[in-house]
């Protein structure tokens, strides 16, 4: 089977609309598994799992039709630079003077090593970055594996940064590639933001220094479209203490959903079992 990358480039919707993309479907072929399918469509592993609850990600049934989460609502906020929405594990890049948005799956910090919510900018671009683990990483590695980590790892197949890195402001946080295909679209890093190699290479080539970056936490996204109301609900982030935080239903969300018992039930169901898919509220 030849793998085709569907690099995600969407046309920006009209002002007032947030809806981009169309749902796609994939019929499971012999030998398919979620990591392979996620890479083929350039979506995240967890996003694929959430959209297809109950399907075995390692042995999906041949012939089963999977939903590929390629339709979404843009996050709230100004459409400029880079927006990373942590709960949905996606990066949105809005090129200047363009009517397009590029969407990439990302891996983010695991529990206890959160990727920070911040307003920042791209301060530096590096090709073949050297990895220098922090003292905390070295201590953690020694505790887990009983051997020491090297002080620095040069560019190459053992370097967890992959081939390209973009630094956020003056922080230690980077957007970077990875030497592990698994973990993109998951909560698995030490706080940095990981991308597939092709995706970070594209960003490295197209992003300017000083491009603004906003990292946000929007579990529920809403949109009033011309003829419908749409919601999209994602799993909330896990706190440092390991507690899975409950999705907060804010007054704005309550007002948006309205008084219909059907719509209230639909919202509660989405919050309890978030699929990360665009869902239409009932027409009144």
User: 76 φ, ψ to 5°?
Assistant: -65, 145
26 is catalytic: no
Output the CA angle 147-150-154, nearest 5 degrees: 145
Taking alpha carbons only, the member of 102, 110, 207 closest to residue 164 is 207
Catalytically annotated residue among 26, 102, 176, 282: 176
**Phi and psi for 131 in degrees, rounded to 5?**
-100, 125
> What whole-number distance in Å separates Cα of residue 68 and Cα of residue 56?
15
Q: Is there a contact between 1 and 29 (Cβ–Cβ < 8 Å)?
A: yes
With helix as H, strand as E and coil as C, how does 87-142 read?
A: CCCEEEEECCCCCEEEEEECEEECCCCCCCCEEEEEEEEEECCCECCCHHHHHHHH
- Catalytic annotation on 206? no
d(CA 189, CA 160): 10
| CA 37 – CA 28 distance, rounded (Å) | 9
- Out of 102, 145, 192, 282, which one is annotated catalytic? 192
Catalytic residue numbers, as ranges:
176, 192
């Amino acid at each position: 089977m030849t793998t085709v990358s569907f690099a995600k480039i969407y046309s920006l919707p009209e002002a007032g609309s947030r809806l981009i993309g169309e749902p796609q479907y994939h019929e499971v072929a012999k030998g398919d598994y979620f990591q392979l399918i996620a890479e083929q469509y350039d979506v995240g592993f967890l996003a694929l799992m959430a959209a297809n609850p109950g399907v075995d990600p390692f042995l999906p049934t041949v012939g089963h039709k999977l939903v590929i989460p390629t339709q979404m609502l843009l996050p709230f906020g100004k459409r400029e630079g880079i927006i990373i929405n942590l709960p949905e594990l996606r990066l949105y890049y809005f090129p200047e003077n363009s009517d397009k948005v590029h969407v990439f799956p990302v891996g983010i910090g695991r529990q206890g090593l959160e990727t920070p919510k911040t307003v920042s900018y791209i301060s530096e671009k590096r090709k073949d970055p050297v990895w220098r683990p922090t003292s905390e990483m070295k201590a953690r590695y020694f505790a887990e594996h009983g051997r020491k980590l090297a002080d620095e790892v040069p560019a190459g197949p053992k370097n967890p940064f992959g081939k390209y890195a973009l630094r956020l402001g003056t922080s230690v946080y980077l957007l970077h590639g990875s030497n592990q295909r698994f973990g993109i679209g998951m909560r698995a890093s030490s706080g940095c933001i990981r991308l597939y190699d092709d995706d970070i290479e594209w960003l490295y080539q197209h992003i300017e220094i000083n491009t603004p970056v906003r990292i946000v936490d929007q579990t529920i996204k809403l949109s009033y479209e011309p003829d419908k109301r749409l919601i999209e609900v994602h799993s909330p982030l896990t706190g440092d203490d390991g507690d899975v935080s409950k999705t907060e239903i804010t007054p704005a969300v309550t007002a948006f959903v309205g008084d219909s018992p059907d719509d209230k039930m639909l919202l509660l169901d989405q919050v309890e079992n978030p699929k990360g898919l665009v869902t239409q509220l009932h027409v009144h």
